[in-house]
Amino acid sequence: MTYDKEKLLKIVKKTEQPEIACLERLIAIPTCYAKGHDMKPMIAQLTEEFEKREYKVQTFPTSGAPVVVAEMDLGMDKTLLFYNHYDVQPEEPLDEWKSPPFELRSRNGRLYGRGVADDKGPIVANIFGIQAALESDYEPRCNVRFIIEGEEETGCLGIEEFCNANPELLKSDGCVWEGASAVPGQRSELYTGVKGCVYFELRAKGFAVDAHSGDAPIVINPAWRLVWALSTLKNQNEEILIDGYYDDVVPPKKEELQLFQQYPPDAIDPYKQKYKTEKFLLERDGMEFWTELTLRPTCTICGLSSGWTGPEAKTVVPKEAIAEVDFRIVPNQKVERVQKLLREHLDKKGFADIEIKLEEGSYEANKTPFDHPFVKLLASLAKDFSGKNPLIIPSAGGSGPAYLFGKHTPWASCGPVDPECNVHAPNESISITELRYMTALIGATAIELG
């Protein structure tokens, strides 16, 4: 290690106000792709932020949101890559926010706003981390490239087109995925893989109109049909009941299970805090907890909608019923096969009438080997900054376009588990301390990669 942690932290502290101001500018621009927000103001803002720091900026249009690429080519052998996204989740339910979601607000050492943690905070930390490295005695010994897309929360069609068209921009010696951070005294989690995700809308239809429920004995009720169909997909032991679904699932490797065995028992605590619970689904704990969370496929009802659910009674037979269902898949499972098996399953079970719509933006799974040198570098820096060995997790439970990058570059994502972040939920926040350490750690990564 050649970098000076204290010096880096000092530089970062000095630039904290400009960094927060930069984050404030990004938060102020609503960028929910699903809501059709205009992304041009964000592209312009990002371009301005990078150009004033002497990056070469290119915008790649896609059929969806444009991808912004900012490069600082220092003529070095190695390249540090950042993947981030400028889009955010919908801000609803609005009435649960304690401050306006598109205004950065500071309260009790935390910054609040939609996107502060996912993923505008990390963008800003990466930018200011590289600046800190430049300002320190040790110049960054690598070239830097940012790839920032705008459809992460809705399925990443644009980034898929971009990646297919520009594979050379995906090559690097290490890609920091969304963010890398460490907070003193807190154990980081270092992710080196993602599950894939296939998201379906299932729709059952009844007669042409909502009926009076007095006619229930003669009217097809799509809510019942959907409930019956869904109940055939998974049992209460969480076993997915679709024939052949598990056939192409690669079982966990011996090394991965050994890794879990080395986890300290309190590794589970952040989840207990996040969900304010002592017990998890099916009382999963220890090895089973980690294996299911990271290495096994899932089937989840994300939403249900049918008929009347307001206050008071309304006795109707709904004319249609909708379920949103996602399948998190593991390496070797294919999106098309999941869709085919689901259709076959519903047909076989007598639910040929239920329509399946594959929503845009499916992902495959991907893993960088957890003993790759880039992973080791991030792990040792995380330990340096936090004072604790990070938890190396071979795959996130979630998904993302990392699989598109993973074919070309090693990648990892690293940060402390912060149950107060409320990612995807109202009152999303990030601690100012974390933002500072995240920034410094990125500076160190740039210095050390060389």
138-197 residues near its own copies, rule: CB under 8 A: 154-155, 195, 197
Pick the stretch among 13-21, 45-53, 62-70, 202-210 that binds its own copies (CB under 8 A).
202-210
Only one of the segments 69-77, 121-129, 297-305, 407-415 lies at the binding site for its own copies (rule: CB under 8 A); that segment is 297-305
**Residues 68 and 120 sit within 8 Å (Cβ to Cβ):** no
For its own copies, how many residues bind (rule: CB under 8 A)? 83
From the list 8-16, 250-258, 333-341, 394-402, the region that binds its own copies by CB under 8 A is 394-402
Indicate whether 37 belongs to the interface with its own copies (CB under 8 A).
no
Cβ distance to its own copies smaller for residue 2 or 231:
231
Give yes or no for a contact between 72 and 443, defined as CB atoms under 8 angstroms apart. no
Report in angstroms how near the CB of residue 402 gets to its own copies at its nearest.
13
Query: Of the candidates 38, 48, 73, 215, which one interacts with its own copies according to CB under 8 A?
Result: 215
Q: How far is Cα 222 from Cα 140, in angstroms, rounded to an integer? A: 60
Residue 173 near residue 374 (C-beta atoms within 8 A): yes
Residues 268 to 287: which contact its own copies by CB under 8 A?
Answer: 271, 275-277, 280-281, 284
Q: Integer distance in angstroms from the first to the last C-alpha of the chain?
A: 11
**Do the beta carbons of residue 121 and residue 56 sit within 8 Å?**
no
Q: What are the backbone angles phi and psi of residue 44, rounded to the nearest 5°?
A: -60, -40
Residue 234: which residues within 8 A CB-CB, separation 6 or more?
240, 241, 299
Choose which of 143, 386, 399, 431 interacts with its own copies (CB under 8 A): 399
DSSP state of 25: H
The structure tokens 């609005």 sit at 94
Instruction: Specify the amino acid at residue 125.
Output: A
The nearest distance, CB 328 to its own copies, in angstroms, is 7
Could you give the CA distance from residue 272 to residue 265 in angstroms, rounded to a whole number?
A: 12
Specify burial of residue 95 (Cβ count, 10 A radius: 0-12, 13-18, 19+): exposed
Binding status of residue 301 toward its own copies by CB under 8 A:
yes
Scan residues 89-108 and list those touching its own copies (CB under 8 A): 89-90
Asked if residue 346 binds its own copies (CB under 8 A), the reply is no
Q: Is 315 in the site for its own copies (CB under 8 A)?
A: yes
Using the minimum distance from each CB to its own copies, give the nearer residue, 231 or 261.
231
- Residue 258 binds to its own copies (criterion: CB under 8 A): no
Among 230, 346, 381, 444, binds its own copies (CB under 8 A): 230
Among 34, 241, 250, 352, binds its own copies (CB under 8 A): 34
314 interacts with its own copies by CB under 8 A: yes
> Is 199:325 a contact under the CB 8 Å cutoff?
yes
304-325 burial, b for 16+ CB within 10 Å, e for fewer? Answer: bebbeeeeeeeebbbbbbbbbb
Residue of 15, 305, 339, 380 interacting with its own copies (CB under 8 A): 305
For position 135 contacting its own copies by CB under 8 A, the verdict is no
Q: Which of residues 351-390 bind its own copies (CB under 8 A)?
A: 359-361
Q: Which of the 8 DSSP states describes residue 195?
A: B
